[in-house]
Amino acid sequence: MNSPKNPILKQGYRLFIFLKNTYLAWDRNDPFAKSAIIAYYTLFSLPSLLMIVTSIASAFVGPEAVQGRIHDEIARFISPEVAIAIEQMIGKVTVENDNWITLIISIAALIYGATGVFFQMKKTMNTIWNVTEKKSNFKRMLINRAIAFGMVLVLGFMLLVAFVITVLLNLLTDYLSQFAPSITVVFADALRFLISFLFIASLFAAIFKILPDVKMGYKTTVLGASITAILFLIGESILGYYFASSNPASVYGGAASIVLILLWVNYTCLILFFGAEITVQYAIAKKHKIVPNSHAKLAHTEEMEALRKKQKQVEADKKKAIKLATNPEESNTP
């Protein structure tokens, strides 16, 4: 199909081709299996992850306020039952301090559990960007865990900033409501949506910038994170309506909260990976060179090396076959 000459149709055609290539690349990377893997790791990482994030923010604003904010956000995105279940999870995660050896082991286990989801997400991001690590050893594993823990700290800092902004917004709306109550409600809703968008877009930008082993420009990162945040907010609205209307976890009884967490993380990861694929396709469309960092290389380089080895082996086998066909008596020599 040729590109239309009309400027508007031409832009629409380019957008169609762009989205088509994005979807095909997204589907080729098997996002459903990878989302299911991350949902599984999230289930086990969630208590440790939320405890560390809560501890970081609680050092400044108090644990009750932070836990209340987390409860409200989870209740808004998933369900109140899941929010209560997660609060109970956080309460049961403890760090033993009987002696220094037990304390070190407890903290190490806590960090290892909290970083699991970002560790797996890093692997998926590398697959999407078509890069692979040069070496996989214990030292590199520790570095990857440190990077994942960095994402946990970023999440805790962002939660603190979002909490402070929300408090300031509430104070502002309370003051303005004295003069124009009806206008203040609309203003507050719009501002809350903007804050949610900025928070989510910043989180995605941090994921795109920190986790993959590539050198990515800030313009590409911000654009990809913004598009992903829009998709996320649209998707979460649809998921919220779906969970509220159809109650997909009702058949699971006491395990309903766990099922809802898995479903929510699974669907969210599908959106995240599609947003990451949009970022990759945008970089390709704009002819931005994808440069791996010092610890990685392009995946097709590894594939080319394997192909060259296979080609050499085929040539060697071919020469051997020709030699045996020319001198058949050699094959019967003991």
Mean pLDDT of the chain: 75
Per-residue confidence (pLDDT) for residue 289, from 0 to 100: 73
Please report whether residue 2 resides in a domain. Answer: no
What confidence category does residue 100 fall into, taking pLDDT thresholds of 50, 70 and 90?
A: low
- pLDDT: which is higher, 265 or 64: 265
Average pLDDT on 264-273 reads: 86
Same domain, 35 and 148: yes
Which residue range forms the structural domain that includes residue 288? 7-293
Same domain, 142 and 261: yes
Per-residue confidence (pLDDT) for residue 328, from 0 to 100: 57
Same domain, 272 and 318: no
Same domain, 142 and 285: yes
Please report whether residue 197 resides in a domain. Answer: yes
Q: Tens digit of pLDDT for each residue in 155-207?
A: 766 666 666 676 677 777 777 677 767 777 777 778 778 888 888 888 888 88
Please report whether residue 210 resides in a domain. Answer: yes
Which residues 6+ apart lie within 8 Å of 219 measured at CB?
A: none
For residues 61 and 245, what is the distance between their CA atoms, to the nearest angstrom? 36
Please report whether residue 278 resides in a domain. Answer: yes
Same domain, 310 and 289: no
Please report whether residue 1 resides in a domain. Answer: no
Please report whether residue 125 resides in a domain. Answer: yes
Boundary (domain end) residue, out of 278, 293, 308: 293
Same domain, 120 and 251: yes
Average pLDDT on 132-151 reads: 76
Q: Computed over its alpha carbons, how large is the radius of gyration of the chain?
A: 26
Same domain, 141 and 90: yes
Please report whether residue 103 resides in a domain. Answer: yes
41 token code pair: 């790791």
For residues 73 and 225, what is the distance between their CA atoms, to the nearest angstrom? 20
Same domain, 323 and 241: no
Same domain, 214 and 331: no
Please report whether residue 12 resides in a domain. Answer: yes
For residues 206 and 275, what is the distance between their CA atoms, to the nearest angstrom? 13
Same domain, 182 and 308: no
**Dihedral sign from CA coordinates of 177, 180, 185, 190:** negative
Same domain, 137 and 167: yes
Same domain, 315 and 227: no
User: How many domains, the chain?
Assistant: 2
